[in-house]
Amino acid sequence: MKRIIEEVLQAEEKVGAIIKEARDEAAEIRRSAETEISQKTSDAKHKAREMVQTAVEEAKKEAERISKEKIELIDHQKDALLNNRADEIDDLVGEISEMIKTTTDRN
């Protein structure tokens, strides 16, 4: 009977050691998984930041390009308008000059 109790106690010790080893392995696997998840999350955040930064830079370049095009278009329209109305502007300047001249001549 004593021998049976000793064998049961030894078996319990072995089972306890196996359970402790399994718990230790599980804890290590959990730590390893958490570290891997943390690293992958960090990498994903870094890549997302890079993607956003690239998109913002591209959007700025596109906005600058569009702005430049609009300014050039307005400049061309202004030049065309001035060229089309050059004679009218010259006539107006002449009329104003005459008005000033006649006004000063009277005084």
- % of the chain at pLDDT higher than 90: 64
Task: State yes or no: pLDDT of 83 exceeds 90.
Answer: no
The DSSP output letter for 1 is -
Question: What is the end-to-end Cα distance of the chain in Å, rounded?
Answer: 144
Between residues 95 and 18, the one the model is more confident about: 18
- Exposed, middle or buried: residue 29 (CB in 10 Å: 0-12, 13-18, 19+)? exposed
Q: How many domains does the chain have?
A: 1
Rounded average pLDDT over 52-77: 96
Q: Report whether pLDDT(106) > 80.
A: no
pTM score? 0.53
Instruction: State the residue range of the domain holding 44.
Output: 2-106
